[in-house]
Amino acid sequence: MPLLIRLLFLLTLYPLTVPAGQAASGVTSKEIVVGSLQDLSGPIAALGVHFRNGTQMRFDEENAQGGIHGRKLRLVIEDTGYDPKRAILAAQKFIQRDHVFAVIHNLGSPVVMSTMPLFLDAGILHLFPAAPLKEVYAPVHPLKFAMSPSYAVSVPPAIVHLVRANGYKRVGILYQDDEMGHEVLRGLDAALAELKLPLCEKAGYKRGATDFSSQIARLRAADCDFVVLATVVRETIGAYSEARRNGWQAPMLVTASGYTAQVPQLGGKVMDGLYGVVLSPHPYAEGANKRLAEWISRYTRLYGVEPNTWDVMAYAGADIFIQALRQAGPNPTTAKVSAALEHTHTTRDFFGNPDFVITPTDHLANRRVRIAQVVDGRWRNLTDYLQ
């Protein structure tokens, strides 16, 4: 069946509008249903698996203690393959069949931008998406909450810090030609304006690309002495490796989308030297505090793999949601949970996360980043959270 016909057929099952008053709350006497759109089979599946695991782990812990006021949390996952069309269909399933109370940690800028309006129209809480875009928290909306600042907010401090510390003069960018890449471009423009430097060169690529030879050649020909990578995991490895294989040693900084243990693990020794923007620190067992070491051990036993930064972000976001559900009382509603979220104020946790603060006028929990670098195959923090 041709894709367009199949989509039209499926949309008859999951229509794009929700009749007034017919969006279920997702709360029963026994459970609270929560959805999450993840890439489990596409180009950023390395992220999606961990967002799923970290969320599920925290939910399971709470359920083992009896749940929220006697209700268990049920996480429903749909695989989008990082495809906005598949994501729309999955979102309609959440709304029409699963009757989710909230969605949490939806992954990918194109996925989030195509589905968020559907959830908001249906009156469903849209929590902590893994899509660092301004639109997920601004303007303030009672259903929209985020933990990760947009790239336009998170990228400039790291660029400015590294350029000033190392005296770079010719800053270029390799970017994914979509919402994510364009947001990083805006952040780079802001940083260059502060530094009073021109853009050396920019080179774009289409989502899913595997060959970066022409883009790297273009940036090298422009004599860039520092390059920002608006890339995700596979693309980060491909672009950085391409440069190093060809003898180009220009330092590079990847956004938070490329700060993950898979980059040095899959890319190998060649990835040493790469800078990364950090939102939540990678949970390495070596040097971990006691509580973190226990958490890492427990995670590894549960899922058969080591955790990474995405698990930390997912676990922390799930915990904030759980605290809000508790505060909402035994009869939770969207309005009650939203009001509870607006009074979130955590302190640094055992992971080393920054304080998370949400207020009625600001639904972004964190604007601070730190910088790390790959050294001997693992990320090492170079700074604390930049002011």
The domain that holds 50 is classified in CATH as 3.40.50.2300
116 within a domain of the structure (yes/no): yes
80 within a domain of the structure (yes/no): yes
A 10 A CB-CB count for 65 gives 8
Same domain for 272 and 125: no
21 within a domain of the structure (yes/no): yes
242 within a domain of the structure (yes/no): yes
Res 387: pLDDT: 76
Distance, CA of 62 to chain centre: 23
Beta bridge mates, 76 = 35
pTM given for the model:
0.86
Q: Is the pLDDT assigned to residue 1 strictly greater than 50? A: no
Res 14: pLDDT: 40
Same domain for 268 and 313: no
Same domain for 273 and 162: yes
Same domain for 86 and 191: no
Give the structural domain span for 103: 3-149+292-341
Same domain for 244 and 157: yes
pLDDT tens per residue across span 135-156 = 999 999 999 999 999 999 999 9
364 within a domain of the structure (yes/no): no
Same domain for 168 and 270: yes
Same domain for 155 and 145: no
Same domain for 157 and 248: yes
Orientation angle between helical segments 3-13 and 84-93, nearest 10 degrees: 20
Same domain for 141 and 38: yes
How many distinct structural domains can be found in the chain?
2
Q: Assess contact for 202 and 227: CB atoms under 8 A.
A: no
Same domain for 376 and 242: yes
pLDDT tens per residue across span 10-60 = 444 444 333 333 334 799 999 999 999 999 999 889 899 999 999 999 999
pLDDT tens per residue across span 207-258 = 889 999 999 999 999 999 999 999 988 999 999 999 999 999 999 999 998 9
353 within a domain of the structure (yes/no): no
